């Protein structure tokens, strides 16, 4: 029996990478009965008689798993964010960061399309980037888009990590990957066709070795999924709120109207970003008003 990692899944076959070699395997029959689906990124125990024939016997415990794209054990998510075209919104960026935080994935922010803005507007992004860095998020922002310095930062981030790349359509996800690994030649825009799951599209998911790490090739991770968390927990996914929450006068403070709230005081002092707090309030209201979903038959 050997141990390896699933690097690709395609029509019921799983390509497992072990000791420098790839083995094509299938899942054991009882997996289906036990409702277990192997995911790309899973560490597994398998046996194989030849590199083309083998069986996955066991899936080792996962640190996390996503449904879109269906991958497991992801270390970080690069949020590709255009500063213009599509128009920039802190709300969308924060929702993407929260989605990653909820999944237990470390976010990295990469700003693109900086050639489309003037120097004054660029300054506002410098300030914004400083705010996110203070929270602890790595941010890549360079005056010239895809500059050597910026790409080096991204490559250093990818090394030894398993990464998903997310961002709005048109934010420049494929362009970024093409700059980092030119031999990939990802057609810009072909990603959207991969997401239109038509009858004839094969559902191939794979991890590509790039810059000393592994990158999931399906940027299907979106922040538009309805957040299914209790509104009282929302503050846990804003690291900078969580860091001061123990100084709030009341336990279980949701940083709304409570007196002696350390988060609101931090925002007033300018220690915490106003835009983050505004987006927090908006999401809080949204979550509070969300009706529980009952699958009732009409």
Question: H or E segment at 150?
Answer: helix 148-158
Check the annotation: does 168 bind a ligand: yes
Check the annotation: does 113 bind a ligand: yes
Domain range list for the chain: 2-59, 76-216, 231-289
Instruction: Say how far apart CA 102 and CA 35 lie, in whole Å.
Output: 24
Instruction: Say how far apart CA 25 and CA 12 lie, in whole Å.
Output: 9
Instruction: Say how far apart CA 59 and CA 74 lie, in whole Å.
Output: 15
Q: Which CATH architecture has domain 76-216?
A: 3-Layer(aba) Sandwich (3.40)
Check residue 204 and give its pLDDT.
79
> What does DSSP assign to residue 287?
H
Contact, 14 vs 53, CB < 8 A? no
Instruction: Say how far apart CA 66 and CA 63 lie, in whole Å.
Output: 11
Instruction: Say how far apart CA 143 and CA 265 lie, in whole Å.
Output: 34
Give the number of other CB atoms < 10 A from CB of residue 10.
Answer: 14
Check residue 276 and give its pLDDT.
98
Token pair 């030894």: residue: 160
Contact, 107 vs 136, CB < 8 A? no
CATH topology match: 2-59 vs 231-289: no
Closest CA to 22 of 211, 207, 216: 207
Check residue 195 and give its pLDDT.
47
Report the length, in residues, of the chain.
298
Cα-based angle 167, 226, 291 (whole degrees, multiple of 5): 160
CATH topology of domain 2-59: OB fold (Dihydrolipoamide Acetyltransferase, E2P) (2.40.50)
Helix ranges, 196-261 (H)? 239-244
Check the annotation: does 255 bind a ligand: yes
Instruction: Say how far apart CA 234 and CA 252 lie, in whole Å.
Output: 11
Check the annotation: does 271 bind a ligand: no
Contacts of 120 (CB under 8 A, 6+ apart): none
Contact, 101 vs 171, CB < 8 A? no
Tokens matching residue 166: 């997310």
Check the annotation: does 174 bind a ligand: yes
Instruction: Say how far apart CA 40 and CA 10 lie, in whole Å.
Output: 10
Check the annotation: does 112 bind a ligand: yes
Check the annotation: does 41 bind a ligand: no
Q: What is the mean pLDDT of each run of 10 residues along the chain (298 residues)?
A: 95 94 94 93 96 95 88 95 94 93 94 97 98 98 96 97 89 89 68 45 78 80 68 96 97 96 98 98 93 57
Check the annotation: does 114 bind a ligand: yes
Check the annotation: does 236 bind a ligand: no
Instruction: Say how far apart CA 216 and CA 74 lie, in whole Å.
Output: 9
* Superfamily of structural domain 231-289: Probable gtpase engc; domain 3 (1.10.40.50)
209-243 burial, b at 16+ Cβ within 10 Å, e below that, comes to ebbebbbbbbbbbebeeebeeebeebbebbebbee
Check the annotation: does 171 bind a ligand: yes
């Amino acid at each position: 029996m050997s141990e390896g990692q699933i690097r690709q899944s395609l029509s019921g076959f799983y390509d497992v990478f072990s000791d420098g070699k790839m083995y094509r395997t299938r899942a054991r029959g009882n997996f289906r009965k036990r409702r277990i689906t192997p995911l790309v990124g899973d560490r597994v125990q398998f046996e194989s008689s030849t590199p083309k024939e083998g069986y996955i016997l066991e899936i080792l415990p996962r640190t996390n798993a996503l449904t879109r794209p269906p991958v497991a054990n992801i270390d970080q998510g690069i949020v590709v964010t255009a500063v213009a075209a599509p128009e920039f919104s802190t709300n969308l960026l924060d929702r993407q960061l929260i989605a990653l935080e909820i999944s237990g994935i470390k976010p990295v922010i990469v700003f693109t399309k900086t050639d489309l803005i003037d120097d004054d507007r660029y300054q506002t992004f410098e300030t914004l980037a400083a705010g996110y860095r203070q929270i602890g998020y790595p941010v890549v922002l360079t005056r010239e888009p895809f500059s050597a310095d910026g790409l080096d930062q991204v490559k250093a981030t990818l090394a030894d990590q398993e990464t998903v790349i997310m961002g709005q359509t048109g934010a420049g996800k494929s362009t970024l990957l093409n700059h980092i690994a030119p031999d990939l030649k990802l057609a810009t825009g072909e990603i959207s066709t991969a997401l239109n799951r038509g009858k004839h599209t094969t559902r191939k998911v794979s991890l590509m070795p790039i810059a000393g790490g592994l990158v999931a090739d399906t940027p299907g991770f979106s922040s538009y999924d309805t957040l299914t968390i209790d509104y009282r927990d929302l503050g846990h996914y804003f690291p900078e709120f969580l860091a001061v929450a123990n100084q709030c006068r009341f336990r279980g403070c949701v940083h709304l109207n409570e007196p002696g709230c350390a988060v609101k005081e931090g925002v007033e002092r300018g220690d915490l970003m106003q835009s983050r707090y505004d987006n927090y309030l908006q999401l809080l209201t949204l979550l509070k008003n969300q009706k529980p979903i009952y699958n009732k038959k009409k």
